[in-house]
Amino acid sequence: MPAYLPFAVRVSRVQRLSPTFVRVTVSGESLAGFAGHGYDQRINLIFPLPGEDAGTLPTGPDWVERWQAVPVERRPPLRTYTVRAFRPDRRELDLDFVLHGVAGPASRWATEARPGDPLTVIGPVAGHPGPFNDVAWAPPAHAGRLLLAADEAAVPAASAIVEMLGPHNRATVVLEVPEPADVLDLTVPDGVRLVWLARSRGERLGPVVRELVADLVPVAAAAGPAREPRLASGATPEEPDEDDLWEVPTSEETVGRPDGFYAWLAGESGAVVGMRRHLVGERGMDRRAVAFMGYWRRGRAQAN
Ligand SMILES: Cc1cc2nc3c(=O)[nH]c(=O)nc-3n(C[C@H](O)[C@H](O)[C@H](O)COP(=O)(O)OP(=O)(O)OC[C@H]3O[C@@H](n4cnc5c(N)ncnc54)[C@H](O)[C@@H]3O)c2cc1C
């Protein structure tokens, strides 16, 4: 049995959180078999094409082959999202969507979502031995200083991580959203400093992260071993191809780091590439200390 399977769900609630965010709660008996892994757990969602119902959505262990066999113009689109919350007792998942217009199938679906609408969640199977790779968050065991930086697409993931931090974690969390009204009500544990930036006020993640890293990581400690080229396309590590931007140290790599600094940076690929260039190229930061994650790319749809 594969480690990830399709779970058939339906929308049970839709709650507008702010001008940019909508929370869509989905539920279904199938979620009795879903494994919630917490933190920034990512899942794939498959959306019915407009006017189509659950019958067109893939099911079963061989769903990949059957879904790929459908001609692309009739194939229900697949996109990556975050489990904002999972309530196994209620067989419910909260999914927080950025509304960015109706050009993208996911944003369009979320804009129009109504109770009863069908959706397929591709996620991990409870009780399966794995291995699973759906959680990128992997700080050192004794992380002394944590930095999380995210734009709106990664706000659900950063929020879920923040809510799971303990009072012993000294974390700085910077979240960039389109406008001040998008600041969400988050439960922040003691020891966590949360800063919201609003693009409409000219506030941007890149410069703030540079300043924070300069304060948090002294230059000597930042200079680590050179990073090996690990990019699939052959792009140099200093100038990675933005499509490749998913560089996430595993917990085996981060666990033994003596200084315990760990940064988790996620958002629009171009912005994350800029941060990577500064942290790795200019400051020589140890690649085991930072997870760089392009969550979306301006002007380009996610590959289906
Ligand atoms: C691990 C992971 C977790 C993610 N979790 C979430 C999540 O919880 N919530 C969430 O909203 N997104 C999340 N995303 C981002 C989401 O997958 C992308 O934004 C995706 O492109 C949306 O699909 P779409 O069909 O709406 O647009 P697409 O068809 O992919 O793109 C259509 C157009 O919209 C633009 N676009 C795409 N996303 C955005 C955006 N956020 N803002 C402005 N323009 C955009 C594209 O550049 C393109 O021009 C996550 C991505 C990853 C990799």
Q: Which residue has the higher pLDDT, 222 or 19?
A: 19
The pLDDT > 90 percentage for the chain reads 73
Ligand 1, residue 246: give the atom nearest the CA: 53
pTM of the predicted structure, to 2 decimals: 0.93
How distant is the alpha carbon of residue 150 from its chain centre?
9
For the ranges 36-40, 56-60, 147-151, the lowest mean pLDDT is seen at 56-60
Q: Distance from the CA of 220 to the center of ligand 1, in angstroms?
A: 37
Packing angle, helices 205-216 and 269-276, rounded to 10: 30
Across 232-248, average pLDDT? 62
Please indicate whether residue 156, judged by its CB atom, sits closer than 6 Å to ligand 1.
Answer: yes
Return the residue whose CA atom lies nearest to atom 7 of ligand 1: 81
Q: Which residue has the higher pLDDT, 117 or 56?
A: 117
Mean pLDDT of the chain: 90
Ligand 1, residue 105: give the atom nearest the CA: 25
> Cα separation of 259 and 75, whole Å?
48
Which tokens belong to 54?
A: 């659950």
For the ranges 143-147, 149-153, 235-239, the lowest mean pLDDT is seen at 235-239
Q: Distance from the CA of 215 to the center of ligand 1, in angstroms?
A: 31
Name the nearest CA neighbour of 209 among 186, 175, 256.
175
Residue 162 has pLDDT above 50, yes or no: yes
Q: Helix, strand, coil % (nearest 5) of the chain? A: 30, 30, 40
> Cα separation of 165 and 162, whole Å?
5
Across 231-260, average pLDDT? 66
Q: Distance from the CA of 201 to the center of ligand 1, in angstroms?
A: 23
Task: Give CATH 3.40.50.80 domain extents, the chain.
Answer: 145-296
**Cβ distance 161 to 40 under 8 Å?**
yes
Q: Distance from the CA of 218 to the center of ligand 1, in angstroms?
A: 34
CATH number of the structural domain 145-296: 3.40.50.80
Task: Give CATH 2.40.30.10 domain extents, the chain.
Answer: 4-124
Return the residue whose CA atom lies nearest to atom 34 of ligand 1: 104
pLDDT tens column, 3-33: 999 999 999 999 999 999 999 999 999 999 9
**Best of 41, 75, 102, 107 for a ligand 1 pocket test (most atoms within 8 Å of beta carbon):** 107
The matching CATH number, chosen from 3.40.50.150, 3.50.50.60, 3.20.20.140, 2.40.30.10, for 4-124 is: 2.40.30.10
**Best of 296, 298, 300 for a ligand 1 pocket test (most atoms within 8 Å of beta carbon):** 296
Q: Distance from the CA of 207 to the center of ligand 1, in angstroms?
A: 23
Helix (H, G, I), strand (E, B) or coil at 211: helix
pLDDT at 46: 97
Element (H, E) at 109: helix 105-112
Residue 218 has pLDDT above 70, yes or no: no
DSSP 112-154: H--TT-EEEEEEEBTT-------------TT-SEEEEEEEGGG
pLDDT tens column, 81-110: 999 999 999 999 999 999 999 999 999 999
